[in-house]
Amino acid sequence: MRYELMYESFFKIAEGVPLTIQLVIISTILGIFLAIAVALMRISGNKLMSAPAYYFVYLIRGTPLLLQLYFVYYGLSQFEFIRESILWIILKEPYWCGVITLTISTGAYSSEIIRGGILSVSKNHIEASGALGLSQVKTFLLITLPITVRQALPAYGNELILMVKATSLISIVTLMEITGIARTIISKTYAPVEIFLVAGSIYLVINFIIVMLVNLAERRLGIEKAT
Amino acid sequence: MFDVFALGPTGWGDEMLMGALMTVLVSTSSLILGILIGIIFAFCKLSNIFALKIIANTYTTIIRGIPELLIIYLLFFGGSGAVMYIAKIFGYDGYIELNAFTIGTIAVGAISGAYSTEVIRGAVNSVHKGQFEAGKALGLNGYGLYGSVIFPQVARIALPGIGNVWQITLKDTALISVTGLVEIMRQSRIAAGSTHEPFIFYTAAIILYLIITRLSNILFDKAENTYSKGYVSKEAI
């Protein structure tokens, strides 16, 4: 073990932490809106709405994230009309390609979690709120959504951890986050075990903090642990 | 537009199909390795020995908390070194290099092993205690008990979970493309690079993955039906 190298590389790798966290936060926030939209489309009961949502989720869940990233980053830029359109301002940046890919991916996965949450809301609640004269929008915002959040939170915590892990792929399109920096140091120093331990511990700490935060939120919302 | 997918030396059709075959091969071998790891660690987790529990919990926590790509980098850059280190202990001093397939199988197998561990542990847990007791009362122990009484029931319960693990494993093999193994991902990158048509080749790769997913879904559904023969679920009664 080269402890000095581990000590030095810790500070170098730590410089990638803000980018990793930034990617997670931006894509998660954008992804949640996408997820709610897709989930509502799926349970709308209208074939024209639910079918595209179903195939979207099927497509994203059935293909590797790396392939989706390549598709957005390399695939779309093949076309002249995209390179000349206003979209190019966003699509030429690896950062935004990463955010778009992560958003689409988490949107598809979380839409299933949210759908499960919405479906678990008892019909009686909806009927009761109708009897109280609440409009459909108000029923959704005041009754369905809070219950859904409670139901979906434990599963959503897992999705957040998967997101942190997924950001590592963005290093492949030249973005220097934790894994990107770790990879560069490994190929310079040829000390894979040491660098793995350093970068791996950073990820574990980030994920541990997320688990703590989700647990805290669960306790505040009064969710009882299944065990 | 579809000329690029011609079979033979003029197009990339056969190369892409070989890539798909490689993806299936490396996913299958990783899944099998993962299940073997899963069985071992599930029994570690279920054992009463504290040290074994700690080892198994550390393994699953690390694998599930660290990006797959980082694990693949560790084995890609450090795998050969580790094998040579072990070989040295046994007196072999030569140079050993693991090929991309072996490294990929070990890396993805280790990842899928962590998920299999949880699936198998859950399945063993859900086998009724009475089954163990009845087996013992019949004088079975060790292989007899686990092989002919417990395992068939675990297999039935674990099968849907293993189906999920298969999907994860299949997608994780795309990451091995960074180590140079020519599977779907790598092959479409090569083809996209040399034809300057990334859109078409990545679309083809997406379709290939979806086909593999669909076919494996059908296979797993069939297997579930076979293993559930003679079993009536509680809801059906």
pLDDT (mean) for A210-218:
92
Residue B6 placed within a domain: no
Q: Which CATH number characterizes residue B190's domain?
A: 1.10.3720.10
Q: Do B209 and A67 touch (CB under 8 A)?
A: yes
Mean pLDDT, chain B, rounded, equals: 89
Q: What is this model's ipTM? A: 0.87
Residue A168 placed within a domain: yes
Q: Contact B109/A223 with Cβ under 8 angstroms?
A: no
User: Residue A85: which domain range?
Assistant: 3-220
The domain total for chain B is 1
The domain total for chain A is 1
* pLDDT surpassing 90 at residue A70: yes
pLDDT (mean) for B101-115:
93
Amino acid at B148: S
CB-side exposure of B43: number of CA atoms within 13 Å? 10
Residue of A nearest to B212 (CA): A62
Q: Contact B143/B64 with Cβ under 8 angstroms?
A: no
Residues of B whose CB is below 8 A from A55: none
Residue B160 placed within a domain: yes
* pLDDT surpassing 60 at residue A92: yes
User: Residue B152: which domain range?
Assistant: 13-229
Q: Å from B10 to nearest chain A CA?
A: 22
Residues in chain A: 227
How confident is the model over A140-160, as pLDDT tens digits?
Answer: 889 888 889 888 998 999 999
Does residue B218 sit at the A interface (CB-CB below 8 Å)? no
Residue of B nearest to A171 (CA): B69
Q: Do B70 and A192 touch (CB under 8 A)?
A: no
Crossing angle for the helix pair A178-189 and B68-89, to the nearest 10 degrees: 30
The full 3-state SS of A135-187, as one line of letters, equals CHHHHHHHHHHHHHHHHHHHHHHHHHHHHHHHHHHHHHHCCCCHHHHHHHHHH
Residue A199 placed within a domain: yes
Q: Do B171 and A65 touch (CB under 8 A)?
A: yes
* pLDDT surpassing 70 at residue B232: no
Name the pTM for this structure. 0.88
Residue A78: predicted pLDDT: 83
DSSP assignment of B5-40 equals G-SSTTSSHHHHHHHHHHHHHHHHHHHHHHHHHHHH
Residue B168 placed within a domain: yes
CA distances from A142 to A32, A224, B54 (A): 18, 22, 44
Residue A57 placed within a domain: yes
Residue B216 placed within a domain: yes
Per-residue burial over A59-84, b if 16 or more Cβ lie within 10 Å, else e, is bbebbbbbbbbbbbbbbbbbeeebee
Contacts of B153 (CB under 8 A, 6+ apart): B127, B131
Token reading at A70? 């390549």
H/E element holding B180?
none
- Count H helices and E strands in chain B, helices first: 9, 0
Residue of B nearest to A203 (CA): B66
Amino acid at B18: M
Report residue A35 CA to chain centroid gap.
Answer: 10
pLDDT band at A51; cut points 50, 70, 90 = very high
Report the alpha-carbon distance of residue B106 to residue B40 in Å, rounded. Answer: 16
Report the alpha-carbon distance of residue B50 to residue B58 in Å, rounded. Answer: 12
Does residue B1 sit at the A interface (CB-CB below 8 Å)? no
Q: Where are the beta strands (DSSP E) in chain A?
A: none
CB-side exposure of A128: number of CA atoms within 13 Å? 8
* pLDDT surpassing 90 at residue A131: yes
B61, B76, B185 ranked by CB distance to A64: nearest: B185
Residues of B whose CB is below 8 A from A166: 67
Interface test with A, best of B30, B125, B206 (most A CBs within 10 A): B206
Residue A225 placed within a domain: no
Token reading at A106? 């988490």
Q: Å from A196 to nearest chain B CA?
A: 6
Residue B8: predicted pLDDT: 73
* pLDDT surpassing 80 at residue B235: no
Q: Contact B185/A34 with Cβ under 8 angstroms?
A: no
Residue B229: predicted pLDDT: 77
pLDDT (mean) for B196-203:
91
Report the alpha-carbon distance of residue B61 to residue A200 in Å, rounded. Answer: 11
Q: Do B78 and A192 touch (CB under 8 A)?
A: yes
Residue A65 placed within a domain: yes
Residue A88 placed within a domain: yes
A64, A165, A199 ranked by CB distance to B171: nearest: A64
DSSP assignment of A58-120 equals HHHHTS-HHHHHHIIIIIGGG-HHHHHSTTHHHHT-HHHHHHHHHHHHHHHHHHHHHHHHHHT
Rg of chain A on CA atoms, in Å? 21
Q: Which CATH number characterizes residue A148's domain?
A: 1.10.3720.10
Q: Contact B154/B160 with Cβ under 8 angstroms?
A: no
Cβ within 8 Å of A, B 79-118: 81
Residue B237 placed within a domain: no
Residue A222: predicted pLDDT: 75
Residue B234: predicted pLDDT: 60
Report the alpha-carbon distance of residue A193 to residue A218 in Å, rounded. Answer: 36
